[in-house]
Amino acid sequence: MVNRKPLSWIPTLYLGESLPYAAVMVMSLVLYQEMGLTDTQITLYTGWLGLPWVIKPLWSPIVDGIRTKRWWILTMQLTIGAALALLAFTLPTSFWLQCSLALFMLIAFSSATHDIAADGFYILGLENKEQELYVGLRNTFYRIGMVLGQGGLVTLAGLLQESGASIPISWSVTFLAVAGLMLMLFAYHWRMLPKPSSDSPKVEKFSVFEDFFLTLKVFFTKPHLITALLFILLFRLPEGLLTKIVPLFLKRTVEEGGLGLSDVQFGTIYGSLGVIGLLGGGIFGGWLVSKYSLRRMLWPLVLCITLPDIVYVYLSYYETQNLFLIGSCVFIEQAGYGLGFTAYTLYLVHFAHGERATSVFSFCTAFQSLGGVMLPGMVSGWMSDQMGYGQFFIAVMGFCLVTFAVTAMVKLPEEENEKIR
């Protein structure tokens, strides 16, 4: 077997990881808003779609114990592509809502499984030095996939509508485009993904479940567990409330309290400019922590992830059609989120350090998805419908006090006295 160069498969592998996530977590919001659902319905329905990423540690032993990581990657990409194509054909029907929710859930489970396999394959397919060398590349192409999904593909739906296509047809074509991309990635990876000798299923199939419970034991016997869990679950609460509402606020008409952006404007501002701000904030946050240490930068980065949320209070009370102003506000908030999320992620790394670090980290990410994405996202629509966007965004600023409280309680590890390199 030819030894494939990492540059021939890492970018496309992580592009394939982010595209279905963008489809499930962002494109679905815009689709359901344009199809006439309320904020309460949208956030409740799509909130459940985050469940697979919360519980994926439960079936990661199956991915480890059955078949190869390469097989799982290819199978999930084929499944996602087929499900997206089927979704496209059901949108113009009378039963579009039931079918779309079922297919989005299938895509979500397949995408979460793909994440497990892809991250494991990255480790198996590269030497240690190569893993460090290409980590920036994988993260960059993951973000490129998010820009393509949240920006380019939403813009495509908008352009089709501006050319006269109905909402269901425009989104059918858009999801067919995503399906085509996933199937092209499947065909490419069928040929280009390497076959490392270490990529083999574990022989002791029942031992993987024993391994899971041992990891669970390690996690729940960590020092300072209560304050750590509170930090992991609640640190992202304000952002979790904003995540699903901001796209809806940007898209709702002025009469409904929103800013009335078209799909093209939304794709440019939120899907592209916002993601660039998020990526830039993450890179700069990583540099700050590497230079000054997490202990010294924790509170400045906490302020970065909370205080910029006030831009949405401003936009909701001082309605504007100035796209430059709207784009600047979104960019500032997303850059602040990228900065603050760096501190949060590095705390998870420190907490997971030690025995079974990789598996413990997967539990950490599951809890952060539960408390920072899924649960607040599910109730955020009901809150915004009851309060209106202006008061909702003020309430989010109030919930920043929760972030401050859990940050004040959290215990950083002693070894953090030294800088992170």
Q: How far apart are CA 31 and CA 173, in angstroms?
A: 12
pLDDT the model gives residue 207: 61
Q: Are residues 221 and 181 in the same domain?
A: no
Residue 416 pLDDT > 50, yes or no? no
CATH of the domain at 78: 1.20.1250.20
Provide mean pLDDT across the span 59-88.
Answer: 89
Contacts of 153 (CB under 8 A, 6+ apart): 22, 23, 27, 174, 177, 178, 267
Q: Are residues 270 and 159 in the same domain?
A: no
Contacts of 100 (CB under 8 A, 6+ apart): 28, 31, 87, 90, 91
Domain boundary among 183, 203, 223: 203
Lowest mean per-residue pLDDT among 68-72, 171-175, 398-402: 68-72
Lowest mean per-residue pLDDT among 218-222, 331-335, 401-405: 218-222
Residue 33 pLDDT > 60, yes or no? yes
**pLDDT band at residue 1, thresholds of 50, 70 and 90?**
very low
**Predicted confidence (pLDDT) per residue in 114-125, tens digit:** 988 887 787 777
Q: Is 23 helix (H, G, I), strand (E, B) or coil?
A: helix
Q: Write the DSSP string, 218-282.
A: HHHTSTTHHHHHHHHHHTTHHHHHHHHHHHHHHHS-GGGTS----HHHHIIIIIIIHHHHHHHHH
Q: Are residues 220 and 166 in the same domain?
A: no
pLDDT, mean over the chain = 86
pTM of the model: 0.82
Domain boundary among 203, 235, 265: 203
Q: Are residues 255 and 167 in the same domain?
A: no
Let me know: does 4 contact 195? Beta carbons within 8 Å.
Answer: no
Q: Are residues 163 and 213 in the same domain?
A: no
**Predicted confidence (pLDDT) per residue in 310-359, tens digit:** 999 999 998 788 999 999 999 999 999 888 888 888 888 788 777 766 67
> What whole-number percentage of the chain has pLDDT above 70?
91
Q: Are residues 280 and 144 in the same domain?
A: no
Chain centroid offset of residue 245 CA: 15
Q: Are residues 38 and 170 in the same domain?
A: yes
Domain boundary among 170, 203, 236: 203
Q: Are residues 180 and 299 in the same domain?
A: no
Q: Are residues 232 and 193 in the same domain?
A: no
**pLDDT band at residue 420, thresholds of 50, 70 and 90?**
very low
pLDDT the model gives residue 59: 79
User: Which residue range is the domain that position 38 belongs to?
Assistant: 1-203
Pick the more confident residue, 279 or 157. 157
Quote the number of domains for the chain: 2
**Predicted confidence (pLDDT) per residue in 148-196, tens digit:** 888 888 899 999 999 999 999 999 999 999 999 999 999 999 998 888 8
Residue 382 pLDDT > 90, yes or no? yes
Q: Are residues 285 and 322 in the same domain?
A: yes
Q: Which is it for the CA torsion 112, 116, 121, 123, positive or negative?
A: positive
Q: Is 174 helix (H, G, I), strand (E, B) or coil?
A: helix
- Calculated CA dihedral for residues 249, 341, 118, 45, nearest 10 degrees: -30
pLDDT the model gives residue 421: 38
Residue 11 pLDDT > 90, yes or no? no
Q: Are residues 124 and 225 in the same domain?
A: no
Q: How far apart are CA 382 and CA 395, in angstroms?
A: 13
pLDDT the model gives residue 2: 44
Q: Are residues 236 and 366 in the same domain?
A: yes
